[in-house]
């Protein structure tokens, strides 16, 4: 079931990212819905789930929105998923404030790792200024935590409905 | 225990995924035309490639050198042919220049001689101890007469002994049967100049001046000119110079004269067409 919902979430991320590239092509990368999904998977499912979700989401991003070299986003998201999953098993990251911090750091790390990997492999990539990374991290953190709240409320509502029934 | 296994599995999967991604990325990334993996492989096989490349270049260089050498050989052959052709041309031009020089000398002599002459070319030479003749390309149709004197730019050559319509034969004064009336220009001592029968000019090419009295004033170096007394050669033409003059055993001196005409190399001559009165030669004739 977890795999199914993960796939649904990644599909939703694909739809959102596609829509963003159509609506605001120059600013589509500010919000990273795949990262939000992956972080959520890692926070709720641990290292393995976060890593596999990262691999899937990263490759979708590579295939649909990446450059000529596939795998850079995949590798980045694997590392992010693993790191967040690793952290979630050791720290209590349920509170929205903690998740904001995780999303903020994950977004910044994602940007830094991606750019560094691109530099290592001598691949042209987007260049983000520190301010750009900060802005992007803030947006992802805010939007991501809001999304997590919506999802979890709905989840709790569904659970209550099933209990009443 | 189960958690430890789960953690190891997760980390192994992480390492596997990371490695797989690195390989996948490196295969796509090109650096200098090769992927990272390709570059690594290239670094391994580069020495072998260097050896192979060096060998191929060596063979290629050898082959191109061989081909170039063949080209050089062909060029050399062509250039040699060209040089030979140019040498022939040069020789021809030098020959033309020499001929022009000779003709100029002949022309100059013709201008100075108060004689009517016809220029002729030597077309054949014959030589034997008892007979020295040349053949000219002018004959009776050109006004050449029997016994006409034949001159070169440097001296008397001989006389016509046979005449055909288009050619004539000349007996050189070297011939053992030839005789020229001469005199010593300085002392006016006269004599007869003749070839030396048997071995006329084989050693020195000298002529013998006969019938000069023992008391005749002849010294080495005296110029010998025609006297005209033989009614064949106009008087005053240079024949040669006294090489030696000794007191003979009899009444006459033994005098050897070096001819001034170059019999072996003469190619253009003049044939006197009109007989002239004696002693009409001028000093300029010489």
Q: Could you please report the per-residue DSSP string of A92-107?
A: ---SHHHHHHHHHHHH
Q: Which of A107, A106, A104, A126 is nearest to A116 (CA)?
A: A126
Question: Each residue's pLDDT tens digit in chain A (165 positions)?
Answer: 778 888 888 888 888 888 877 776 666 678 889 999 999 999 888 888 899 999 999 888 887 776 667 888 899 999 999 999 998 888 888 888 888 999 999 999 998 888 888 888 777 777 778 888 888 899 999 999 998 888 888 777 776 776 666
Q: Which residues of A touch B28 (CB under 8 A)?
A: 68-71
Please report the residues numbered 36 through 75 in chain B whose beta carbons come closer than 8 angstroms to any beta carbon of chain A: 36
DSSP class of B234: P
Yes or no: domain B113-275 corresponds to CATH 2.120.10.30: no
Q: How far is CA A33 from the centre of its chain?
A: 6
CA–CA distance, B244 with B204 (Å, rounded to integer): 12
Rounded CA-CA distance A73/A57 in Å is: 8
B10 vs A: CB within 8 A: yes
- Give the 3-state secondary structure of residue B151: strand
Return the exposure string of B19-49: e unless at least 16 CB atoms fall within 10 Å of the residue's CB, then b. Answer: eebbebbbebbbeeeebbbbbeeeeeeeeee
Determine the 3-state secondary structure of B185 from DSSP.
Answer: coil
ipTM greater than cut 0.85:
no
Q: What is the pLDDT of residues B228-281, one digit of tens each?
A: 888 888 888 889 999 999 887 778 888 999 998 888 888 888 898 866 554 444
Using CB atoms, which residue from B14, B22, B29 is nearest to A82? B14
Beta bridge partners of B179: B194
Q: What is the dihedral of CA B270, B276, B279, B284, to 10 degrees?
A: -40
pLDDT at B283: 45
Which two three-digit tokens encode residue A68? 């000529």
Per the prediction, chain B carries an average pLDDT of 80
Q: Which residue has the higher pLDDT, B200 or B209?
A: B209
pTM of the model: 0.44
Nearest chain A CA: its distance from B52 CA (Å): 30
Average pLDDT of the residues in B182-201: 80
Whole-number Å distance between alpha carbons of B229 and A130: 134
Question: Across the interface, do B10 and A68 touch by the CB < 8 Å criterion?
Answer: no
Whether the predicted pLDDT of B8 surpasses 60? yes
Which two tokens mark B34? 């090769």
Q: Count Cβ atoms within 10 A of the Cβ of residue A8 and give its class: 0-12 exposed, 13-18 middle, 19 or more buried.
A: exposed
Quote the CA–CA distance of A82 and A49 in Å, as a whole number: 8
Asked if B168 and B139 touch (Cβ cutoff 8 Å), the reply is yes
Greater pLDDT, B35 or B162: B162
- Residues 41-60, chain A: which have Cβ within 8 Å of B? 47-48, 51, 55
Domain definitions of chain A by residue range: 2-164
Question: What tokens appear for B164 in the block?
Answer: 């055909």
Separation between Cα atoms, residue B26 and residue B35, nearest integer Å: 5
If DSSP codes are grouped into helix, strand and coil, which group holds residue A164? helix
CATH no. for A2-164: 1.10.1760
Distances (CA, A) of B2 to A43, A85, B11: 21, 18, 14
Burial class (CB in 10 A: 0-12, 13-18, 19+), B199: exposed
Query: DSSP code of B71?
Result: H
Residue B284's pLDDT band (boundaries 50, 70, 90)? Answer: very low
- B-chain residue closest to A72, CA distance: B25
Residues of chain B neighbouring A79 (CB-CB closer than 8 A): 18
Tokens standing for A137?
Answer: 């991290």
- Does pLDDT of B202 surpass 80? no
Q: In whole angstroms, how large is the CA radius of gyration of chain B?
A: 46
The residue ranges of every structural domain in chain B are 113-275
Three-state DSSP class for B10?
Answer: helix
Question: By the CB < 8 Å criterion, does A152 face chain B?
Answer: no
pLDDT in tens, B43-82: 555 565 566 667 777 887 788 777 778 788 888 889 999 9
pLDDT band at B10 (very low <50, low <70, confident <90, very high): confident
Residue appearing with tokens 């670094």: B43
């Amino acid at each position: 079931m977890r795999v199914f919902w993960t796939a649904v979430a990644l599909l939703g991320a694909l739809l959102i990212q596609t829509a963003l590239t159509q609506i605001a092509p120059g600013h589509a990368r500010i919000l990273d819905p795949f990262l939000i999904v992956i972080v959520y998977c890692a926070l709720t499912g641990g290292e393995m789930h976060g890593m596999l979700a990262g691999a899937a989401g990263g490759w979708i991003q590579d295939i649909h929105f990446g450059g000529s070299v596939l795998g850079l986003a995949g590798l980045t998201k694997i590392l992010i998923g693993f790191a967040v999953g690793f952290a979630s098993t050791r720290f209590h990251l349920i509170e929205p404030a903690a998740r904001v911090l995780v999303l903020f750091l994950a977004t910044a790390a994602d940007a830094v790792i991606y750019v560094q990997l691109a530099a290592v492999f001598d691949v042209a990539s987007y260049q983000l200024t520190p301010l750009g990374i900060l802005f992007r991290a803030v947006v992802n953190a805010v939007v991501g935590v809001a999304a997590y709240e919506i999802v979890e409320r709905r989840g709790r509502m569904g659970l209550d409905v099933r209990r009443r029934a | 225990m189960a958690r430890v296994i789960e953690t190891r599995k997760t980390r192994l999967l992480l390492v596997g995924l990371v490695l797989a991604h690195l390989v996948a990325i490196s295969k796509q990334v090109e650096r200098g035309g090769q992927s990272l993996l390709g570059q690594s492989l290239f670094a391994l096989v580069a020495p072998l490639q260097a050896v192979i490349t060096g060998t191929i270049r060596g063979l290629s260089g050898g082959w191109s050198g061989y081909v170039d050498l063949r080209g050089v050989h062909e060029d050399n052959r062509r250039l040699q042919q060209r040089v030979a052709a140019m040498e022939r041309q040069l020789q021809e031009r030098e020959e033309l220049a020499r001929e022009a020089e000779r003709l100029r000398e002949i022309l100059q002599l013709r201008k100075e001689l108060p004689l009517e002459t016809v220029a002729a070319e030597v077309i054949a030479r014959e030589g034997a101890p008892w007979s020295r003749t040349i053949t000219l390309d002018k004959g009776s149709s050109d006004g050449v007469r029997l016994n006409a004197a034949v001159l070169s730019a440097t001296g008397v050559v001989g006389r016509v002994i046979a005449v055909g319509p288009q050619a004539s034969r000349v007996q050189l004064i070297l011939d053992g049967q030839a005789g020229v009336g001469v005199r010593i220009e300085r002392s006016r001592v006269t004599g007869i100049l003749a070839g030396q029968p048997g071995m006329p000019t084989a050693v020195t090419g000298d002529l013998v001046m006969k019938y000069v009295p023992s008391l005749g004033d002849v010294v080495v170096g005296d110029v010998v000119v025609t006297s005209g007394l033989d009614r064949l050669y106009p008087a005053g033409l240079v024949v040669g110079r006294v090489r030696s003059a000794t007191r003979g055993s009899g009444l006459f001196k033994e005098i050897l004269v070096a001819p001034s005409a170059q019999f072996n190399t003469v190619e253009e001559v003049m044939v006197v067409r009109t007989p002239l009165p004696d002693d009409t030669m001028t000093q300029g004739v010489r």
